[in-house]
Structure 1
């Protein structure tokens, strides 16, 4: 009964949200063709996309959600096979993205508003097994403490899924670290491995990112990696190893809203909405907890955010419709 009441309330609120948008729809949608939004591999990006998509749908647009890898998506964005990605992390993008932005095939519609961090995390109890942490150089002397049956005596570091790029593998190789870089599976699989390690106090070292709900539920420390310097991926003189490139820590991301160059001309109000759209870490953390920890449907959580946050999004819609 309680769940039925909650669903009814959400339906009423969502209907109210639609009613607020609908009267202003003169001339919108400008085209009935679908706006194709990229859906990448992590929950936060799903939420950013489905919230933006829900607002577009309420404005009358035809929206299509397209599963796309974080790096492979850029070829599709550059050609218009994808229309937009509301949450685009710009520090793990391969070669196509910077060229497409420079040429104007991909345009940036401003920052989403998230404060980010990427790097290696480990449980605090590992500091007793690896004195010197969080300094990354300590890992050189205690790699075996992070090993398993497949890697021992080398350590094991879990990298991002293979199609997110090879930064962890490149860093390990560039610094001659006695570690094996193992690609993670999905975001869910990586979280499951973190939970399992913490439950049994097993060693684990993993490439991860913030914002993320795990930092509200579990305790991890960040490895202090060597600071990123411009040129580190091209010039061996930059970074801690004078004989290698890719030897710096990870450049921290800007989270931009990216779009196909033709979006503003074909769907002007939709593009203006993208320009105005923002989310904060608290917004995402709360929603991610609902999805990843409580097992709720990501689209339902996104729609509930829309229903509960008219004061935030109404100015974006009003500005887009002018």
Structure 2
């Protein structure tokens, strides 16, 4: 594949940076590869909810971490309407769910069962309202309020400003061995550094979202947990293949493992590196995998 179409250095590849660390670090790592193809790369901070329209218009060119539970609705709709293109699925299996550090099981017997959690709800309360447990999350829509309502959970939701604030809450609880329940996902840096478990809610089924009569609450939807084996996908601007075939080919080839994603987050969140430095460290560790994705005929180096 010739790199002549990359010879115009005014060509700019735009990459969205979302509000979780593995996506940001891996986007920088891929941006470095694409710069080696002769393109200028720019990064745009944006919540996941804003990236879809931007990708449709070519204001950003691709997204390498689309998580099933939090993003499949928008993703499926836009692919079906040819507003974005599917660029494949990673081998890794992902999960997004309520989570707690392992030591909490000593304080709340019966975990990870959700009914045991509900019986222990006051363990997770704040002084301002000792009657209800607090579930910490960010600005992502997992239908947690619907879940609480449908399962009659004695919990309230506190939405923190960003991922950093979430990990600060976790660190504070961890250091003091205090009970905490929060949104988490795997792969993530916690896989490597903080033993913990996901809460086991009633098993997910699509009927849980569409059929009120399904499940343990015959009057409400969302009386189940999230998928335990979700997919992680890639998508791009509809004109990506035609306009930037080397970039298109690269994104199609990349395939993240559980450890690749956990390390990307860990190098920044746990080790304290900047996103750019974490991306370079990640690229060194996974250089053999990267070599399989890169088309050397695209490179200008």
Picking from 127, 130, 133, the partner of 1:155 is 133
2:20 aligned with 1:42: yes
**Structure 1's 156 and 314: CA in aligned 2 closer, same or farther, altered over 3 A?**
same
For residue 184 of structure 1, the aligned residue among 151, 156, 160 is 160
Q: Runs in 1 of length 4+ with deviation above 4 angstroms?
A: 319-322
- The 3-state SS of whatever aligns with 1:27 is helix
Q: Which residue of 2 aligns with 1:117?
A: 95
2:280 is equivalent to residue 299 of structure 1:
no
Kindly report the root-mean-square deviation, in angstroms, between the aligned alpha carbons of the 2 structures: 2.3
28 and 171 in structure 1: CA distance in 2 versus 1, 3 angstrom threshold: same
When residues 31 and 174 of structure 1 are mapped into structure 2, their CA distance, relative to the original with a 3 A threshold, is farther
Cα pair 1:269 1:320 within 8 Å, conserved: no
Q: TM-score, normalised by structure 1?
A: 0.85
What is the aligned counterpart of 1:264 among 241, 264, 273? 241
Unaligned 5+ residue runs, structure 1? Answer: 1-22
Alpha-carbon deviations, 1:260-280, whole Å to 9, x = none?
111111111110111011222
Measure, in 2, the Cα distance between the counterparts of 1:57 and 1:136: 47
Matched with 2:78 is 100
Quote how far apart the aligned CAs of 1:293 are.
1.6
Aligned length: 298
Structure 2 CA distance for aligned equivalents of residues 316 and 221 of structure 1: 33
- Could you give the per-residue CA deviations for residues 143-183 of structure 1, whole angstroms, max 9, x where no partner exists? 11211113321111112x12x21422221122221110111
Alpha-carbon distance, 1:287 to partner: 3.5
Deviations 1:231-288 (A, max 9, x none): 3222212232111012210134311111011111111111011101122222233343
Aligned residue among 147, 151, 163 for 1:175:
151
Does the CA contact (< 8 Å) of 1:25 and 1:321 recur in 2?
A: yes
Match of 1:239 in 2: 215
Alignment partners' CA distance in 2, 1:65 and 1:146:
38
User: What residue number does 1:13 align with?
Assistant: none
Aligned to 2:265: 288
Instruction: After TM superposition, list the pairs within 5 Å mapping 1:1-322 onto structure 2.
Output: 25-29=3-7, 32-93=10-71, 95-159=73-137, 161-162=138-139, 164-252=140-228, 253-307=230-284, 309-318=286-295, 321=298
Normalised by the length of structure 2, the TM-score is: 0.90
Deviation at 1:193, TM superposition (A): 0.7
**Partners of 2:142 and 2:150 in 1: CA distance:** 12
Q: Residues 150 and 75 of structure 1: is their aligned pair in 2 closer, same or farther, counting only changes over 3 Å?
A: farther
Q: How many Å apart are 1:308 and its aligned residue? A: 5.1
**CA 118–320 in structure 1, closer or farther in 2 if over 3 Å, else same:** farther
SS at match of 1:232: helix
Q: Which runs of 5+ in 2 are unaligned?
A: none
Deviation at 1:35, TM superposition (A): 1.6
Cα separation, partners in 2 of 1:310 and 1:135, compared to 1, 3 Å = closer
